[in-house]
Structure 1
């Protein structure tokens, strides 16, 4: 069996949701949003993830920010240093090793977090031409797509359609009240010493992103065709390769939504591994992730009870304060705790 046949997408095990004819994020077609909400709820409750197609975000926009990040990574370290991540706003550049999910391996990843769209927070035009002209429209597209999904989720959870929008009203506003973030990531080729060390003491073990679940409401993921993304489905302890569908965007539940729905919509553990084979290891990988997060002071509404809630999956255990207070979440407390666990 080929590697392609072994992926979840190739086996048709990830639900695909068609967003065609949805309208705009300001005035979406309610009948279509209800249909998408039903499909999204079924996918996230059953699998923990779904694939979105016909979402309206051109592949060229993604490729442009991939090239911009490559150009940023080629800058001298001194130039990069002025854009390092601000621990308060979470905006800025992360060199490999600054963010660690797996303490046993070296994580090969360059990331530029975008939490505000102001020009002053972006790489200068003379350093990375067009960075802001490419990143800002893409961030706005992903924000608008998140707004549509929030309305769809509200319908599916039997809530007023605007209530989740109100809880997420500050996305990428840059005023510090909402930690939503667009992350542009580049995973460089694997160094040769990882392939065949001469003795055990010389072993250097690499990965691209260690296992973790995302912090927010949900995450949108667009990726190139290089592969490496793996998940643990909520009914299994086995790592499964997701695979690639050209032009599609993956959506998966975050920890806050999982806790808020008492794990009815589970947050999956996922990671990015180094692919096998010399050719694949010598190639870089790119992705964009948009982490949709509620406002820091948001008080999420109570979800109407379901007749037969799904059993709690073993792959995600909500933090104690989330479980006890899931009706009145303070998203800022949860996020700051997770930042302390992750950043060096």
Structure 2
């Protein structure tokens, strides 16, 4: 299960990041620099995943139009009146679409969750035996065909980039570059369009838009707008602000890649604090393996560690169903 950190460390104010702590990695040599380029990029990624679990990725070759269209449609949707957004609202039995912000005014605490989201998942509803959790069709807002087109284009681009990143991770772990390929035939990924209100002036230091947490899957690709607010925990327990880098995605390792790597790669705590005084938009893509995958420390890496497997095997479908059930339970009061 993903880990959440709620307590004293959420009261620690983040300092501005030295970008050397979250490296900016150019992916171009991985695709066009031959074997030497692949190895150099993979090693740089592995260092970042070991040291802090985050890095910025430039040279990803995702067309700017795909990203700008997704952000434009997200803003367009969130600027609709609430009764119009409500038409695309998720329900507890069909948990895709718009999920409103739980906070409706009044006292603020560290669990207030000052954001709303539009949730899109892999759509395999045409399968002969669709799973009611993972294979539902997506819900789309009425009279906004451009919204659907932009989201689907962005989802497809992120999935393609994720497959290349998995190859870089494999090389960085000293494994064949196709080591992870077989786990992602029908990946049950998720794309979220997130809208954060600014934290009100005078709020207690422990108030954040999202409490500190780790991500469930192998990796997350985050598109940030230019407002900022992402914060990352360092190994020494302090927090750093991780601002957006123009033209770069922010990549972080999730729990499943930490498990696969037998702890070599760090699934790190992060949170959002929008203190800019204006609204913030971001679009994370959460890569997940096939539902029937069992994630466990890879035997090659366990052997290198003297036979010690540091994590128990986890069945992806079972694990994520429990995770989604918790989300739906939390959403029960406002859906």
Shorter-chain TM-score tier:
0.7 to 0.9
In the alignment, the residues of structure 1 paired with residue 193 and residue 124 of structure 2 have an alpha-carbon distance, to the nearest angstrom, of: 17
Q: Is the 8 A contact 1:230 1:271 kept in 2?
A: yes
Change (3 A) 1:20 1:125: farther
The CA deviation at 1:13 is 1.4
4+ long deviations beyond 6 Å = none
The CA deviation at 1:67 is 2.4
> Which among 82, 89, 110 is matched to residue 104 of structure 1?
110
Q: Partner residue of 1:181?
A: 190
Provide TM-score, normalisation by structure 1: 0.75
> Which among 104, 116, 119 is matched to residue 122 of structure 2?
116
Instruction: Provide the secondary structure at the position in 2 that maps to 1:251.
Output: strand
In the alignment, the residues of structure 1 paired with residue 264 and residue 93 of structure 2 have an alpha-carbon distance, to the nearest angstrom, of: 31
Instruction: Provide the secondary structure at the position in 2 that maps to 1:121.
Output: coil
Q: Deviations over 1:245-277 (max 9, x none)?
A: 1111111110111123232111111100131xx
Q: Is the 8 A contact 2:87 2:141 kept in 1?
A: no
Change (3 A) 1:224 1:144: same
Q: Deviations over 1:208-253 (max 9, x none)?
A: 21211101001111101111110112x2211211122111111111
In the alignment, the residues of structure 2 paired with residue 274 and residue 244 of structure 1 have an alpha-carbon distance, to the nearest angstrom, of: 13
Residues 1-344 of structure 1 mapped to structure 2, 5 A cutoff: 7-8=16-17, 10-23=18-31, 31-85=36-90, 91-97=96-102, 104-116=110-122, 121-124=138-141, 126=143, 128-171=144-187, 178=188, 180-190=189-199, 194-196=200-202, 207-233=208-234, 235-275=235-275, 280-281=276-277, 283-300=278-295, 301-305=298-302, 324-326=311-313, 329-343=314-328, 344=330
CA RMSD of aligned residues (A): 3.3
Change (3 A) 1:304 1:196: closer
Q: Is the 8 A contact 2:173 2:261 kept in 1?
A: no
Instruction: Provide the secondary structure at the position in 2 that maps to 1:163.
Output: coil
The CA deviation at 1:62 is 2.3
Q: Report how many residues are paired.
A: 297
The CA deviation at 1:302 is 2.5
In the alignment, the residues of structure 2 paired with residue 226 and residue 196 of structure 1 have an alpha-carbon distance, to the nearest angstrom, of: 20
The CA deviation at 1:103 is 6.8
Q: Give unpaired runs (5+ residues) of structure 1.
A: 1-5, 172-177, 198-202, 310-321
Q: Is the 8 A contact 1:152 1:161 kept in 2?
A: yes
Provide TM-score, normalisation by structure 2: 0.77
In the alignment, the residues of structure 1 paired with residue 156 and residue 325 of structure 2 have an alpha-carbon distance, to the nearest angstrom, of: 28
